[in-house]
Amino acid sequence: MDIIVFFVFGIIIGSFLNVVILRIPKKESIVFPASHCPTCKTPLKWWHNIPIISYIILKGKCAFCGEKISIQYPLVELVSGIIVASVYYKSGFNIFSVMLMASFLSLLVSSMVDLKYKAITYIMNILPVTFAIFSSPNIIENFTNALLFAGGAVFIRDYVSAIINKEAMGEGDILVFATMGAILGIKLSLIAIFLSAIFAIFPSIYNRITKKDLELPFIPFLSLGLFVVWVFEDKFIKLWNMLYA
Domain annotation covers residue 72 = yes
Residues 155 and 241 in one domain: yes
Does the residue 161 lie in any domain? yes
In a domain, residue 236? The reply is yes
Last residue of a domain, one of 75, 93, 111: 93
Distance of CA 44 to the CA centre of its chain: 27
Q: Check whether 168 has a pLDDT greater than 60.
A: no
DSSP string of 79-109? Answer: HHHHHHHHHHHHH-SSHHHHHHHHHHHHHHH
**130 and 236 fall within a common domain:** yes
**End-to-end alpha-carbon separation of the chain, Å?**
40
Does the residue 106 lie in any domain? no
Average pLDDT over residues 38-53: 78
Same domain, 142 and 87: no
Taking the C-alpha atoms of residue 126 and residue 139, their distance in angstroms, rounded to an integer, is: 16
For all residues of the chain together, what is the average pLDDT?
86
Task: Dump pLDDT digits (tens) for 146-166.
Answer: 999 988 888 777 766 666 556
Q: What is the pLDDT of residues 180-209, one digit of tens each?
A: 999 999 889 999 999 998 998 888 887 777
For residue 33, say if its preceding peptide bond is cis, omega within 30 degrees of 0. yes
Q: Is residue 115 part of a domain?
A: no
Contact assessment for residue 153 and residue 177, using Cβ atoms and an 8 Å cutoff: yes
Residue 74: closest CA among 87, 62, 58, 56 = 56
pLDDT in tens, 93-147: 999 999 999 999 999 999 999 888 877 777 788 999 999 999 999 999 999 999 9
Per-residue burial over 97-109, b = 16 or more CB atoms within 10 Å of its CB, e = otherwise? bbbbbbbbbbbbb
- Range(s) of the domain holding residue 224: 120-245
Residue 109 lies in a domain: no
Q: Quick check: is 16 in a domain?
A: yes
What is the tens place of the pLDDT at every residue in 208-227? 777 666 677 889 999 999 99
Question: Is residue 108 in a domain?
Answer: no
53 with 160, same domain? no
Number of domains in the chain: 2
100, 183 Cβ separation under 8 angstroms: yes
